[in-house]
Amino acid sequence: MKTLLYATDLRTESVSLLKYAYELSKQLNVKLIVVHVYDLPPVSIPGYLDDLKIDLKVSDEKRHALRAYCYQHLDTKASKNNNELQVEAVEDTSVINGILSVARSVFADLILVGTQGKYKKKALFAGNIARSLVTKVAVPLMIVPHETKELKIHTIVYASALESKDIMALKTLAGIARPFLATIKVLHISTKDEYESEEQLLWFKELVQEYLNYKRIEYEVITSEDIFGAINKYVLDSKSDILAMLERKERNLLRSLFHQDLVKKMQTDLSIPLISFRMDE
């Protein structure tokens, strides 16, 4: 992992997320790119040159405001080494398209956005932005509640289907966990219709040992018909700091809708960061 992209709305309520992203980038030893997407209102001044001058002026002002926002709230930390932090102010009528365009241009390895609790609706990234990115972003997406005040990663829960597709996600999680010496708890929720979970788990453990060089991995299989509830309870009981899930694009429509719904519901209900991995079949 080389690049972490954090998308901000420049609100005072989002300062804790900026600090979270910055501290995470330092721990992972990756470059932090802070992006702000703005929509330039239409102007009545005719002429291509006039419009171009206005665009450039607004772009400069937005970039300056974004840089000032970062340096103000990060104190002198970011200004000491300009290589640690890069700002990008992008004009786009769609916040999502703006974020995705920057992510592609800088080859982002991880995108971080904020979301507020289910009873707060005023923030720019409250729900709909993060939910839309889940189904469109090609790299891991980290969704951090605005209420998160500090970077703390001791335990990461990965909700797994015990499939080979989970290996790439676990490799990324191992890269995040390693600097913190964090434990990754692989959680599989087995329904009553599953009869081969034990054999599947043994096979999956061998697969992980073959492809991952990370020792702090534990495994848990829980039988439950209520997958949402079982994951939530396990996260609470294990005092987890991050929940990670794989959002699959399945050939089976019902299964595809279930996976998307599961990720989105967890995003809304959780009070800890959620990392969503997207895997197309």
Q: What average pLDDT is seen over the chain? A: 82
pLDDT at position 125 over 50: no
Q: Note the pLDDT of residue 135.
A: 79
| H-only helix segments in the chain | 15-28, 48-73, 95-105, 128-136, 166-177, 197-211, 227-237, 253-269
184-221 residue pLDDT tens: 999 998 876 665 678 889 999 999 999 999 999 999 99
> Which positions ≥6 away from 137 have C-beta within 8 Å?
100, 103, 111, 278
Question: Residue 31 phi/psi, 5° resolution?
Answer: -80, 140
Using alpha carbons, select from 107, 91, 144, 161 the residue that is nearest to residue 267.
Answer: 144
Query: Range with the lowest mean pLDDT among 22-36, 58-72, 117-131?
Result: 117-131
The answer to whether the beta carbons of residues 37 and 9 sit under 8 Å apart is no
pLDDT at 60: 84
CB 45 within 8 A of CB 51: yes
> In 3D, which of 238, 262, 254 has the Cα closest to residue 160?
262
CA dist 74 and 150 (Å) reads 13
Cα(274)–Cα(132) distance, integer angstroms? 15
Of 1-5, 54-58, 79-83, give the lowest mean pLDDT range: 79-83
pLDDT (0 to 100) of residue 258: 45
What confidence tens digit (pLDDT) does each residue in 43-61 have?
A: 545 554 455 555 667 778 8
Please tell me the least confidently modeled range out of 209-218, 231-240, 266-275.
266-275
| Predicted confidence (pLDDT) at residue 140 exceeds the cutoff of 50 | yes
DSSP symbols for 55-111: HHHHHHHHHHHHHHHHHHHTTTTGGG-GGGEEEEEEE-S-HHHHHHHHHHHTT-SEE
Angle at 123 between CA 121 and CA 125, to 5 degrees: 105
Q: Which amino acid does the sequence have at 64?
A: H
DSSP-derived 3-state class of residue 220: strand
Higher pLDDT, 229 or 33: 33
